[in-house]
Structure 1
Amino acid sequence: MRLLLVRHGQSMNNLWAETLPYDDYINTRNHEPDLTPAGEEQAQRLARFFAGITPPEETGTERRTSISERPVTSLYTSPMVRALGTTAPLAAALGLTPQVWIDIHEHGGLFTGDPRTDNVVNFGGLTRPEVLDRFPTYVLPPEITDEGWWWNGYEHMAQCTARARRVAQTLRQWAETRADEVLLLVTHGAFMDQLIKALLGAEEQPAFHFSHINTAISRIDFLSEGFVAVRYLNRAPHLPLSLYTR
């Protein structure tokens, strides 16, 4: 089984985090930011890449190209708005119905306030009708209700690590019965770091971080006897340097 991990496009929180000191950022951040215009362009370029289409500015005319990836067979997305929005053009390009997977949301959950002091406000996230209004083709789990899906306040890193371990275990189980599939997960930077560490058995390691720019792709293959191979990390062949954002 092949796993492709994709970080969402640039959100407003990413933009503020890049330009503001941390104290100003934490007072400014939105609990559910949408994509910026740059993030929307990143998502469109990502979709064209997976569809095998070269942007016209690179060739003089838009044309289809051959890419080395096997076709994606299943598409999963975090329930957060920035991931849902990044997934939409991908789904259209791939001809797949996205499945919302709550457990691949970003570390921290949906909150405002300062987690350093535990002075935070919790938000429930998009409700089931709200998700279906904006993304009517997505398959939603029953945990997304008419009240939302997040009730846990601020998620500390130890809790995120445990969640990543659960997702890694699910992926390992799937690899035993879905060996010919290519799974694409649209998720988040901090969670991607934790998930890769969980797959490598390094989840208790705080001394290093697997970093991804917006819409970057990482590939992990599940081989025999539980062996996993990291084929590449943080690739963004679909982006010009001007769209490399964190």
Structure 2
Amino acid sequence: MDRDEPLLKVSGVTLQYKTTSHIVTATYRVGFEMLKSDRFVLLGPSGCGKSTLQKAVGGYITPTEGEMRLKGKLITKPGPDRMMVFQEFDQLLPWKTVQQNVAFALEAAKKMPKREAADRAGHYVEMVGLSKFANSYPHMLSGGMKQRVAIARGMAMEPDILLMDEPFAALDALTRRKMQDELLSLWDKTRFTVMFVTHSIAEAIKIGNRILLLSPHPGRVRAELNSATTPEDVAHLERQIHEMLFSEAAPEAAHA
């Protein structure tokens, strides 16, 4: 893949699903590009289609209109090049230890021999600070620790994109802030590419180097925003996002 080419290109994607009575349009003609090592945040209110959009990137939903391409190839199904981390704490296999949970994904994908999978799993368990708990089972872990295991499992696959759907939403405020800091620390070490879904403006600004702002249902692109670094820029960006999300009229997509 050319260095200047986008890692992921989403072009005019409309996503719909059926209920018992009618068809719901989750997103309407959404388009954006992700670059390698992006911390790309999908931000918007509940019901704007951000999780649905991420599932489509994961290959679990087929667009009604438009297309998604990863490294130039059309996304048609799930694959180990896109690993997901959810907010639920029960995403780990309860009968396997921390080490085994991380290694299992590698073994199931047949990426490498069992011994090599164990070595790589150990590396990523250490990276998320859980070496002392490598032989513990999920029921012995706190919510934050379970999320670290899920992140280690996703990173161990070394996917093109790590997909994170509000992974810290179910945590208490202090643990959530700590997990945000730890995620950024991990990113500093490996510069992995992540797509992060949230409805928290503060979390989006902290996590993302780029933010795609989606309008209320159906989700459309309201703006593409770059990250802020100084406290003054952060405050300005917070006000800007709040105004765009809650203004009565939906402006055309803006870039900042």
TM-score (norm: length of structure 2)? 0.30
TM-score (norm: length of structure 1)? 0.31
Q: Name the one with the larger strand percent.
A: 2
Larger radius of gyration: 2
